[in-house]
């Protein structure tokens, strides 16, 4: 069988598709970012046992909703050095059984088994949703391209929210080589209980639908920078991120918990840098933990924890005067410049004339430098403001994903009856 090896010899596998080839570029860095994520998780676990973060701040104001959240700052040991980090914790009501008191315990135990199967096997398959949309009659006339912008005819549009997970590669237990998942099983995320016994680690990708992070560096009347929609991130999963607790225990408040079921992952930086230096796909170290808990009363809650390095840069704007000049000259000369001056261009490209700047961070530094900190104190022009806006957006995205998953959770009468589950749940593909 033909084999193919990455530049860092991460795995040997049958010939990959072009899309898998692109995704495989992340493999040389997976173990390093997974190790950073585990450092963050150990730090967080110790911090919670000690009472939680000392520097906390509110993120949202829920009205008539059983939810609470807070943001935090801290310093975590990551990769042998201290990393300034930030994050948020959000706790939400998920569901509640409604049965007579005499049947409550038996009902809660049955529901525990349902929740275990749903969280560990199916949650990551059904965490994105297609929004309701207007019906479009395909028989309506199609305007010519020149008049399309003037047409009032409704056009089909697909709008999704939540998180679209896909599985890319796995490292089998007791193996050092990554193997690709079959393309037909791309969205049928494996049962997380198999991480450890069957798989040493997984490489996933998540598409964050409807992600729009807006920044106006010069205030409300200035230009707006927008993080592009449908941001993607590579993720790494190992057994340390899988939380599986079936033995009942008591909380400090005296409530009996029947079971806890959690999933989690470390973020892996994209091998292809984009225009943004922070956000999905650009973290130096980050983790997400999602844990469901069911109480003896049948009350189900979900707790989500996000931790990431603090913002150092916001944008990556490349200043490339050599190539800009030659491209412009080539345009106006109808390609003649390229034929004549390519050797000169190659020589100049070897010189350190190309550099990357971050205009947002530069603006924040300049505004506070010239005003002796007045811009941050009075006008909120600071990196901390950007960080809190990002955390609020993160809260909103996870809130929508969890609330949306509740509709699917309630739709299925028996999550243990795998033979009768809808095909779109099993395959992880909806309309």
Instruction: Write the pLDDT tens digit of every residue in 227-274.
Output: 555 568 999 999 999 998 999 999 988 999 999 999 999 999 988 777
> How confident is residue 57, by pLDDT bands cut at 50, 70 and 90?
very high
Give yes or no for residue 71 having a pLDDT over 90.
yes
- Report the candidate in 205, 287, 274 with the shortest Cα–Cα distance to residue 26: 205
Is 121 a domain residue? yes
Beta bridge pairs of residue 71:
57, 88
Name the residue range of residue 201's domain: 4-128+160-310
Is 356 a domain residue? no
d(CA 332, CA 322): 16
What pLDDT was estimated at residue 7? 41
Give yes or no for residue 139 having a pLDDT over 80.
no
Give yes or no for residue 64 having a pLDDT over 90.
no
Is 290 a domain residue? yes
Q: What is the tally of structural domains in the chain?
A: 1
Give yes or no for residue 126 having a pLDDT over 60.
yes
Is 337 a domain residue? no
List, in order, residues 6 or more apart from 146 with CB less than 8 Å away.
none
Give the pLDDT confidence of 370-420 residue by residue, as tens digits.
Answer: 898 888 888 888 888 888 888 988 888 888 888 889 989 999 999 999 999
Q: What is the mean pLDDT of residues 98-120?
A: 91
Is 360 a domain residue? no
Element (H, E) at 160: strand 160-172
What pLDDT was estimated at residue 68? 84
Give yes or no for residue 222 having a pLDDT over 80.
no
Higher pLDDT: 276 or 49? It is 49
What pLDDT was estimated at residue 5? 44
Give yes or no for residue 211 having a pLDDT over 70.
no
φ, ψ of residue 305 to 5 degrees: the values are -125, 130
What pLDDT was estimated at residue 2? 41
d(CA 60, CA 69): 7
Distances (CA, A) of 357 to 32, 84, 219, 319: 27, 22, 21, 7
DSSP code at position 119: I
Indicate the angle between helix axes 359-370 and 383-411, nearest 10 degrees.
140
Decide if 206 contacts 235 (C-beta within 8 A).
yes
The region of weakest confidence among 45-59, 212-226, 256-270, 349-363 is: 212-226
Element (H, E) at 32: helix 27-49
List, in order, residues 6 or more apart from 309 with CB less than 8 Å away.
78, 83, 84, 85, 86, 283, 284, 285, 286
Burial class (CB in 10 A: 0-12, 13-18, 19+), 80: exposed
Q: What percent of the chain has pLDDT over 90?
A: 46
Q: Which of 100-104, 130-134, 272-276 holds the top average pLDDT?
A: 100-104
Model pTM above 0.85: no
d(CA 374, CA 70): 27
Higher pLDDT: 87 or 105? It is 87
Beta bridge pairs of residue 13:
4
d(CA 430, CA 413): 18
Averaged confidence pLDDT in the chain: 83
Is 238 a domain residue? yes
- Report the candidate in 425, 430, 400, 399 with the shortest Cα–Cα distance to residue 121: 425
Tell me whether strands 179-180 and 160-172 are parallel, antiparallel or unpaired. Answer: antiparallel
SS3 content of the chain, % helix, strand, coil (to 5): 35, 30, 35
Is 237 a domain residue? yes
Q: What is the mean pLDDT of residues 293-301?
A: 94
Is 138 a domain residue? no
């Amino acid at each position: 069988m033909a084999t193919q090896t990455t530049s860092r010899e991460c795995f040997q596998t049958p010939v990959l598709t072009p899309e898998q080839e692109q995704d495989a570029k992340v493999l040389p860095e997976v173990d390093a970012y997974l190790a950073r994520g585990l450092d963050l998780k150990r730090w967080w676990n110790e911090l919670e046992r000690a009472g939680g973060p000392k520097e906390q701040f509110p993120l949202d104001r829920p009205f008539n909703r059983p939810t609470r959240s807070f943001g935090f700052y801290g310093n975590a040991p990551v990769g042998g050095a201290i990393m300034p980090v930030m994050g948020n914790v959000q706790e939400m009501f998920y569901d509640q059984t409604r049965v007579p008191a005499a049947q409550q315990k038996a009902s809660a135990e049955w529901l525990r088994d349902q929740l275990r199967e749903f969280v560990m096997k199916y949650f990551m398959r059904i965490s994105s949703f297609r929004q309701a949309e207007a019906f479009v009659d395909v028989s309506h006339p199609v305007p010519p391209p020149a008049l399309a912008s003037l047409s009032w005819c409704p056009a089909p549009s697909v709008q999704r929210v939540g998180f679209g997970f896909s599985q890319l590669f796995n490292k089998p237990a007791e193996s050092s080589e990554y193997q690709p998942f079959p393309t037909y099983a791309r969205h049928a995320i494996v049962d997380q209980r198999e991480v450890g016994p069957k798989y040493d680690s997984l490489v996933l990708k998540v598409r964050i639908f409807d992600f729009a992070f807006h920044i106006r560096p010069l205030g409300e009347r200035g230009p707006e920078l927008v993080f592009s929609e449908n941001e993607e991130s590579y993720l790494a999963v190992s057994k340390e991120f899988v939380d599986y607790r079936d033995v009942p225990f008591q909380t400090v408040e005296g409530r009996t918990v029947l079971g806890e079921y959690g999933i989690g992952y470390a973020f892996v930086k994209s091998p292809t840098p984009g225009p943004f230096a922070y956000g999905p796909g650009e973290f130096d170290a980050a983790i997400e933990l999602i844990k469901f808990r069911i109480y003896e009363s049948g009350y189900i809650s979900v707790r989500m924890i996000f931790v990431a390095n603090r913002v150092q840069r916001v944008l990556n704007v490349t200043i490339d005067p050599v190539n800009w000049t030659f491209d412009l000259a080539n345009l106006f000369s109808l390609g003649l410049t390229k034929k004549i001056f390519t050797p000169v261009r190659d020589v100049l490209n070897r010189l350190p004339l190309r550099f990357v700047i971050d205009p947002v961070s530069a603006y924040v530094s300049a505004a506070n430098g010239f005003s002796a900190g007045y811009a941050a104190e009075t006008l909120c022009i600071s990196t901390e403001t950007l960080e809190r806006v990002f955390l609020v957006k993160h809260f909103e995205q996870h809130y929508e994903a969890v609330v949306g998953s509740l509709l699917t959770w309630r739709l299925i009468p028996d999550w243990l009856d795998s033979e009768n589950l809808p095909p779109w749940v099993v395959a992880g593909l909806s309309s």
